[in-house]
Amino acid sequence: MDNLGLAKGVRMGRSYFHLHLVSDSTGETLINVGRAAAAQYEGVSAIEHVYPLVRSAAQLDRVISEIRAAPGLVLYTLVGGDLGERLEEVARETGSPCLSVLRPVHDLLRAYLGAETTARPGAQHMLNAEYFKRIDAMNFTLAHDDGNLPEDLEEADVILLGVSRTSKTPTSIYLANRGLKTTNLPLVPGMPLPPAIERARKPLVVGLFASPERIVQIRQNRLSSLNADESSLYVDRSAVADEITMSRRLFTKNRWPTIDVTRRSIEETAAAIVDLYRDHRLKFIAD
């Protein structure tokens, strides 16, 4: 290893480095930032060391011992000055590049607002109205998964439609975590949709589809995990293609926006839906 803790030429030619993520809160911010940045480098993977809720000198001691044992990159979000200064000192001693992820943002806000920050670890996770809105959305979404309680469609913020294995459920849960009450309805050949969906005005209805090859692949993996028969129409390429064609005709007929999820992650799909919902909500309020 070199002084950055980079292990080169190991494990099928990939390079690995130690990434220490030190947070006085849950660590979610650091994990997302670290992974987003590391994903831009092919052939290199991070060995993550996550330390959440570090708010005392004793807790920091454990972090320091692990950094000494495995030097690497150090990212932190410690709002208490003393802990951050001590962490940076140890990072210099071990040759570990160290960065306060929030400091540049705080500096920018301070200069713009002309005000000083108030150190409040985990302030973004306070039990405020937004928090309870997300909990309410999650409860609603879980209760309305896979076509359950179709009579409550008008209470939803978003309704997702799609054939089986178009990532409706995980996308719904992700949207619920963003505070959007989401219900999802499967499109099954021969089974009509609830009549309430044609009367729904408040919710944004979005159609999800993917290529037949992608749907067949996911369905085959699903059946294999269940040790189920893989000879049914459920995984027949021609039958699946017909399902997708039927679904897209339905979306077009009702003028529902659609998203191709073939090569999209759940996060990317959800981001596109949030953008659509913003426009839909503005039009709904205007009407």
Query: Annotation-wise, does 65 bind a ligand?
Result: no
Numbers of helices and strands, H then E, in the chain: 10, 9
Binding site annotation covers 207?
Answer: no
One-character DSSP codes across 103-163:
HHHHHHHHHHHT------TTGGG---HHHHHHHHHHHHHHHTGGG-SGGGGGG-SEEEEES
Does 163 carry a binding-site annotation?
yes
SS3 category, 70: coil
Do residues 196 and 150 touch, judged by C-beta distance below 8 A?
yes
Residues in CB range of 121: below 8 A, 6 or more apart? 24, 25, 55, 78, 79, 80
Q: Has 253 been labeled as part of a binding site?
A: no
For residue 22, what is the enclosing H or E element?
Answer: strand 14-23
- How far apart CA 66 and CA 29 sit, in angstroms, is 21
Backbone angles phi, psi at 159, to 5 degrees: -120, 125
Q: Is residue 183 marked as binding?
A: no
CA 167 to centroid of chain Cα atoms: 13
The verdict on whether residue 166 carries a ligand-binding annotation is yes
**Residue 190 known to bind ligand:** no
Integer CA distances (angstroms), 273 to 39, 176, 254, 270, in order:
24, 12, 17, 5
AA identity, residue 233: L
Question: Angle 247-250-256 (CA atoms, 0-180°, nearest 5)?
Answer: 105
Residue 165 counted as an annotated binding residue: yes
Q: Which residues carry a binding-site annotation?
A: 162-169
Q: Which residues carry a binding-site annotation for ADP?
A: 162-169
